[in-house]
C-alpha cells in the first residue's frame, strides 16, 4: 500500500493493493470525476507530486513528465507517498 496526501484538505489516505486511488478516495467521500475507470478517457487526470507508475493509455510523455499529470483510476505510486496539490 501507499499513502496519498491531499495538500488542500491536509488528509492522508492509504491506498491498498486491491483498490485504485479513485476507489480509496471515494470511500472517504472525495470524488474525482471519472468515466472509463480504465486509463483510456483521461477524465480523471489530475496533478500529482511524487514517483508515479503510470498505467494509462491516454497521457502524453509531456503531460506525465513535465506537466505532472496522472490518471488515478489506474495509475499508482511507484513506491512512496504521493501528493495531490488540488
Residues that bind ligand FES (CB under 6 A): 34-37, 39-44, 56, 58, 71, 73
Our CB check for ligand FES shows the closer of 10 and 61 to be: 61
Phi, psi dihedrals of residue 76, rounded to the nearest 5°: -140, 175
Phi, psi dihedrals of residue 82, rounded to the nearest 5°: -120, 155
| Closest distance to ligand FES from the beta carbon of 32 (Å) | 8
| Closest distance to ligand FES from the beta carbon of 59 (Å) | 9
Q: How far apart are CA 46 and CA 25, in angstroms?
A: 13
| Closest distance to ligand FES from the beta carbon of 20 (Å) | 9
Our CB check for ligand FES shows the closer of 35 and 60 to be: 35
Q: How many residues does the chain have?
A: 86
Our CB check for ligand FES shows the closer of 3 and 23 to be: 23
Residue 64, Ramachandran bin (φ over 0: left; ψ between -120 and 50: alpha; else beta)? alpha
Amino acid at each position: 500500500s501507499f499513502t496519498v496526501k491531499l495538500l488542500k484538505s491536509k488528509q492522508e489516505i492509504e491506498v491498498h493493493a486491491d483498490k485504485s486511488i479513485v476507489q480509496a478516495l471515494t470511500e472517504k467521500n472525495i470524488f474525482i470525476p471519472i468515466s472509463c475507470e480504465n486509463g483510456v478517457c483521461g477524465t480523471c487526470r489530475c496533478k500529482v507530486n511524487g514517483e508515479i507508475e503510470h498505467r494509462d493509455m491516454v497521457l502524453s510523455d509531456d503531460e506525465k513528465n513535465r506537466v505532472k499529470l496522472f490518471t488515478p483510476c489506474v495509475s499508482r505510486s511507484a513506491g512512496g507517498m504521493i501528493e495531490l496539490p488540488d
